Structure 1
Amino acid sequence: MPAIPSSLLEPVWVQFDALLPARPEFDPTHPLGCHRRRVPDRVVFAHVVDALVHGSGYERIATEACSDRTIRRRLRAWAEVGLGEQLHALALAAYDRMIGLDLADVSVDGAITKAPCGGERAGRSPVDRGKGGMKRSTGTDGDGIPLGLIGTSANRHDSPLLRGTLEASSRQLHHRWPEQVTAHLDRAYDNGPSRDLLAELGFDADIARKGIPAPVQVGKRWVVERTNSWMNGFGKIRRCTDRSASIIDFYLYLAAAFVTVRQLIRRARALYRWDTRLTTRRLK
């Protein structure tokens, strides 16, 4: 059984393949001219997706067609040039063109997950007895489509991450903010620096007040909680064992790209017709 339905995996792979540089099947610089055939990128990408979904170690998902060392080398090369961010930006552009991003309302929130192997994005988790943990701060549009993400250690407060999250969202959107934007935030952002930042950016602030009960269903910030749940459905995000910051960021944006394309396909079913259009809401 595939880790990702083919109707979702193939569109993502087509866009990812378009970002890859052309590489010869054999290494022309080999002194004997008899280097082993290069493992196709499509095969390696399928293994990387397996690692993303299941959260397994590379030794466990390696096969005769692709070794764990090949997965690590190719993954490092892809992460260093920012292919994850580029893929997510393409997914956002396609969603905006076909469905339309709701940028009049944005939500930002943090989520803490496990990072048992430590690394550049790990720290003591305040909600897991001080074990290794990672925090990601996610910005979404009014429908919960992930716009920008940043990863950091679990012991960081949400409020200082607000600027970085909004800047990451701007990069992914190429600074296409409407004239009036309302930021919906929970009470962790109820402080002077957060309000000053939103005023600096020209955003209206809808922030839950400290000491006043405010269920997440009240207002429009519940969508970011749902997006965090979607992201936690990927095993590599829920329990990250990688130590390199660039690889962690690659996985974060790859997961965000899958979330965006999944929502694009589901919402496009009612608006468009195409040859391979799904007949049910469930992706197969």
Structure 2
Amino acid sequence: MLPAWLTEPLWSQFAALLPQRPQFDPAHPLGCHRLRINDRIVFDKLLQVLRFGCSYEAIADSTCSATTIRNRRDEWMQLGLFTKLKQIALNAYDRIVGLALDQIAIDGAITKAPGGGEVAGRSPVDRGKQGMKRSSMTDGYGIPLGRVLVGANRHDSPLLAPTLDLLPELGPLPDKITVHLDAGYDSASSHVLLDERGLRGRIARKGTKAPVQATQRWHVERTHVWQNAFHRLARCYERRLSAIEAFFDLADTIITVRSLIRRAWTTHRWDTRPRRQP
């Protein structure tokens, strides 16, 4: 499970976003009802599902049923709480540490999707089984900025444009932005696309061997590893795109807050600061 120095700030901010709910349902005909399951219990259950990749039935117990976890997840998704939580984490990181938006890295990653769903397709690297591809964008340190989810049978290059469309959502951008890409994007269309948007591209050449550390593209590769550490994303059984996006937003929030605490540990002091550098 995630350490307390990470889950506590996550829950504190998430709890501030939750709307006020009555302890009992006022619309009940008899004026009474079973107590509403505490939101903190459901939030912890969702973190366990995300981290361990287990089913809702496997993680349910006497404190919370699988149906309650699903219903509360859908309720929070409709309110957009996971997206808001991610944006708050990005704003805090940018304010305290600073996002390196002058160096952007984009790359695709294929994961398993055994249950199929809205963004599943035949995986070219898994004998045609159902898989999902994410085209991820990170800053110069590897902080996840956004992603585009499609079937595993899609090529990376056509996903460059919709991934770059996420840039304006980040607010004011530097005048000069360098986009680091691997050899899969080495085509005339990719160069034209970057030139039209006023971006400088640093693209690996096809047929030329070079270690990933030779450019700043390795940051997005590391972020893929961070995201795949959440087993719900590495082997996704969710079928709806909205549910997958919600789990990705929650995972990206954890990655951002963890990086923020690690990088601010030597420069800032706060009451709940870990005793040793995480």
Q: Taking structure 1 as the reference length, what is the TM-score of the superposition?
A: 0.95
Q: Distance in 2 between matches of 1:49 and 1:17?
A: 14
Q: Specify the code of the residue in structure 2 equivalent to 1:88.
A: K
Matched, 1:29 2:30: no
Query: Cα distance 1:169–1:254, how it changes in 2: closer, same or farther (>3 A)?
Result: farther
Query: Cα distance 1:169–1:55, how it changes in 2: closer, same or farther (>3 A)?
Result: farther
Q: Hey, what does 2:277 align to over in structure 1?
A: 281
Q: Distance in 1 between matches of 2:113 and 2:52?
A: 15
Q: Hey, what does 1:269 align to over in structure 2?
A: 265
Matched, 1:229 2:216: no
**Deviation per CA, 1:140-188, whole angstroms, max 9, x where unpaired?**
00011111112111111111212222223432x2x32111100000011
Q: Hey, what does 1:52 align to over in structure 2?
A: 50
2:214 is paired with a residue whose SS is coil
The unaligned stretches of length 5 or more in structure 2 are none
Pairing partner for 2:236 from 235, 240, 246: 240
The unaligned stretches of length 5 or more in structure 1 are none
Q: Hey, what does 2:252 align to over in structure 1?
A: 256
Q: Hey, what does 2:114 align to over in structure 1?
A: 116
Equivalent residues of 1:53, 1:235 under 8 A apart = yes
Equivalent residues of 1:115, 1:241 under 8 A apart = yes
Query: Cα distance 1:160–1:113, how it changes in 2: closer, same or farther (>3 A)?
Result: same
Q: Taking structure 2 as the reference length, what is the TM-score of the superposition?
A: 0.97
- Identity, in percent, stands at 54
User: Deviation at 1:82?
Assistant: 2.6
Q: Hey, what does 2:204 align to over in structure 1?
A: 208
Q: Distance in 2 between matches of 1:35 and 1:93?
A: 40
1:217 is paired with a residue whose SS is helix
Structural RMSD (CA): 1.2
2:212 is paired with a residue whose SS is coil
Q: Distance in 2 between matches of 1:183 and 1:208?
A: 11
Q: Distance in 2 between matches of 1:220 and 1:253?
A: 24
Q: Hey, what does 2:2 align to over in structure 1?
A: 4
Q: Hey, what does 1:191 align to over in structure 2?
A: 187
Runs of 4+ in 1 over 3 A off after TM superposition: none
Q: Distance in 2 between matches of 1:197 and 1:27?
A: 54
